[in-house]
Amino acid sequence: MNNFVFSNSTKAYFGRGCVGENLPAELSKYGDTVMLAYGGGSIKKNGIYDEVTAILEKAGKKVVEFSGIMSNPTYAKVLEGGELVKKHGVGLILGVGGGSVMDCCKAVSMAAVYEGDLWNDFWANIGVVDFTPTPVGFIVTSSGTGSECDGGAVITNEETMVKCGHDYHECNARFAMLDPTYTYSVPMKQVLAGSFDTLSHIMECYFSPPDEDNISDDIAEALMKSVIRDLRIAAEKPDNYVARSNLMWASTLGEYRLMKIGKSLDFQCHYMEHQLGAYTDCSHGEGLAVLHPVYYRHLYKHGLSKFVRFAENVWGIPRGDMTDEQLAAAGVEALARFVAEIGLPTTLSEMGITDREMLKKAAYSCAISKGAYKKLSFEEIYEIFLEAI
């Protein structure tokens, strides 16, 4: 394995009832004012909002609401939240929602303190956080991104049409509460997309050097098999607690930094989907489901041994008389069939994305992964987009 430093400071509370049991004690550690951050208001329909605000009220907290966080949070929204934190002297940002809410909150925690150009210094470029962001805590209602236990935040700059993210350890939440029953009210379409995002995170760590036996790849294979199994179960039985709890924790582990230890990392597919999202505001998980099989058809010959392992160890495909290339390709096609099986879109057209000029702009604005088995050109990224239509 490559050399590494591992660190993760988020305290995770997991299981049915964990919010009511643990949130009061966590709230006692911070100031009098809490900013309650959430998205479009679904938490008001499913009862989570009432539960959380009752706990805040009983704890004697002054609540500042920051709502309307969109599925692809914008830099303008981040700055809006930062101003609210400064204006009201917020001691804790409490994000209640899925990945978009959590990402936005982490960026807000920096915007509330940093006096410079946040976008240029920390998103357009990788910066050094030499200040203390406002404390953040999360109550997860939709899993998939794994954002609850890392410092990453993916933000869209609508002026420059760039969507990107970085992981800053200083932005890790102080605590994260994961009650699988909170995800029951999430539409199945969103559950499928979110869980594929989890699978994507794991694959993008797995499909990168080194290729010799290592613990990170062994864990990745076990997690991929788990996500595939439990996603099939959840698609058939949405209220199956075992499957939903497994998917929720797999999401956390997929972005917990544990999967990345000693790996070069290839997030090219995420980079491509980010730019699709910047131009179309499409579903992140659905975009990944469409792009991954197409991208891997371009990649598998350049990482042949790992794709052979993927076919055999994750999908259980017997070699028979297949060559390495044939077996590796069979693993990629098994992934493509799985996407169709669980009901995710298999083409960009199904997502309403057909504008070739827009796709060309998106392709030529993509970041290029340094850890991939093959370094793509902008032209090949555009080819992948066209093949995905």
Domain-by-domain residue ranges, the chain?
A: 11-182, 188-388
Instruction: Please report the pLDDT score of residue 6 as a whole number.
Output: 80
Distances (CA, A) of 283 to 5, 226, 349: 33, 23, 13
Instruction: Please report the pLDDT score of residue 22 as a whole number.
Output: 98
Q: Which tens digits make up the pLDDT trace of 262-287?
A: 899 999 999 999 999 999 999 999 99
Instruction: Please report the pLDDT score of residue 149 as a whole number.
Output: 94
Is the pLDDT confidence value at 257 over 90? Answer: no
Question: Are the CB atoms for 33 and 61 separated by under 8 Å?
Answer: yes
Instruction: Please report the pLDDT score of residue 244 as a whole number.
Output: 96
Peptide bond into 210 cis (omega under 30): yes
Instruction: Please report the pLDDT score of residue 258 as a whole number.
Output: 83
Give mean pLDDT, residues 204-214: 94
Instruction: Please report the pLDDT score of residue 41 as a whole number.
Output: 84
Which is more confidently placed, 330 or 41?
330
Is the pLDDT confidence value at 346 over 80? Answer: yes
Is the pLDDT confidence value at 77 over 80? Answer: yes
Instruction: Please report the pLDDT score of residue 359 as a whole number.
Output: 98
Collapse the DSSP code of 185 into the 3-class scheme (helix H, G, I; strand E, B; otherwise coil) and give the result: coil
Is the pLDDT confidence value at 299 over 90? Answer: yes
CATH of domain 11-182: 3.40.50.1970
List the one residue out of 270, 254, 297 whose CA is nearest residue 368: 270
Q: How far from each other are the two terminal CA atoms of the chain, in whole angstroms?
A: 38
- In this structure, how many other beta carbons lie within 10 angstroms of the beta carbon of residue 44? 13
Q: Using CA of residue 300, residue 344, residue 181, residue 148, what is the dihedral sign?
A: positive
238-246, long-range: CB within 8 Å, 24+ apart, which pairs? 238/184, 238/188, 238/191, 239/184, 241/16, 241/180, 241/181, 244/180, 244/181, 244/183, 244/184, 245/14, 245/15, 245/180
Give mean pLDDT, residues 198-212: 96
CATH of domain 188-388: 1.20.1090.10
Cα separation of 38 and 46, whole Å? 13
Instruction: Please report the pLDDT score of residue 313 as a whole number.
Output: 98
Average predicted confidence (pLDDT) for the chain? 96
Cα separation of 309 and 331, whole Å? 9
Cα separation of 371 and 2, whole Å? 13
Structure tokens that stand for 332 in this block: 């990629």
Instruction: Please report the pLDDT score of residue 296 as a whole number.
Output: 98
Residue 76 dihedral angles phi and psi, to the nearest 5°: -60, -40
- Helix (H) / strand (E) element for 139: namely strand 136-140
